[in-house]
Chains A and B, each alone.
Chain A
Amino acid sequence: MANPLEQFEIKPLINLSFKGYDISFSNSALAMCLTSVAIVIVFALLLRKRTIVPTLMQSVPEALYEFIYNLVKTNVGKGGLKYFSFIFCLFLYIAMGNVFGLFPYSFTFTSHIAAVGALSVLALIFNIVVGVYNRKLGYLRTFLPKGIPYILAPLVVPIEAISLLSKPFSLTVRLVANMTVGHIMLKILGGFVVGLGLFGFVPIIFQALIIIFELFIAVLQAFIYTVLSCIYLGDALRSH
């Protein structure tokens, strides 16, 4: 049976280096580029003929748009609608990346801690910048919520700081774990199909079911990532 972890291997496609750092264009980078291009193409095609009464094709992106719009409105509040485009991009990018990874011969970049971690850290920095921009010094209240005596500050401030910094970590681990597990499972079952010979049809049935489940998980995880990003953004905009 082929190694189930082989699919996560990063292979450089175009070798590049900058001052001793390896910045090669890898299969992961290619998957990211293709995902971004796919989003643009799908949206451009679906929204080609824009009418006031949406056609079936047009209603798909509109439904997605409204879904995320309402999500931002409930979780961040009306003040958060300014940052809607960021959240919408985040959702589309992760959802499309997850779904793209399910195609044969493609690469799931959302199963790599480096890729998702960078995205999560970027989201954290974005939250901090938005918080400081909107609340100025009041943002420091995040580290010492109202009603806590100042004598407890040496204990509460580090705890709140760790709590803030662990957010991207938990976001990353959840998405990466879900994606990795699903793909390993698919690969192992795929190995069984070959290994069992005539009885190989049994794992194929399971695999068909798991692929449907994985599609659901791919979108669900993108949704959870987006909801949590919204909640964190809401925390940054509001005091406790």
Chain B
Amino acid sequence: MKKTNDIDELNQRINDFKKRKTASSDVDKLSPQSASKGFQMSIELVSGVFVGAAIGYFLDYVFSTKPLFLCILLVLGGIAGMLNVYKTAHADDKNGERL
């Protein structure tokens, strides 16, 4: 009877330890490096839209088709921004934690 109690207690302790470990690793993730990564991702996202809009505006200016290209390339720029975020995150995964 005592043995089962011991095992139960041990199990309880292991579970407690696991819980503590996951909690502390969550805290570790909130480092300035993660903030820098987040800042980088946000810039990647916005830069796609900006560059898309700039190219669109330029094409409209050249062909005087305002605002056709601006509208199309704004949307494509948004998609390109998301693609950039994906690529950057993917590159980070491949190289391990670095930035």
Contacts and interface: CB of A to CB of B under 8 A. Distances in A.
Contacts of A163: 48, 80, 83-84, 87
A162 B73 contact: yes
Say which size band chain B's interface belongs to: 20 to 34
B79 A224 contact: no
A167 B83 CA distance: 12
B31 to A, nearest CB: 13
Nearest to B41: A170
A16 B98 CA distance: 45
A231 B90 CA distance: 11
B69 to A, nearest CB: 10
Contacts of B81: 166
Given A162-B77, A169-B47, A174 B40 contact: yes
Q: Main SS of the interface on chain B?
A: helix
A158 B40 contact: no
Interface stretch (B1-9, B10-18, B50-58): B50-58
Contacts of B52: 162, 166
A75 interface: yes
A170 B84 CA distance: 10
A114 B38 CA distance: 25
A227 interface: yes
Contact of B51 (A74, A160, A165): A165
Contact of A166 (B36, B50, B98, B99): B50
Contact of B73 (A158, A170, A220): A158
15 contacts: A158-B76, A162-B48, A162-B76, A163-B80, A163-B87, A166-B44, A166-B81, A166-B84, A167-B84, A169-B50, A170-B40, A170-B47, A170-B84, A174-B39, A224-B40
Interface of A: 74-75, 155, 158-160, 162-163, 165-167, 169-170, 173-174, 177, 220, 224, 227, 231
Interface of B: 36, 39-40, 43-44, 47-48, 50-52, 55, 73, 76-77, 79-81, 83-84, 87-88, 91, 95, 98-99
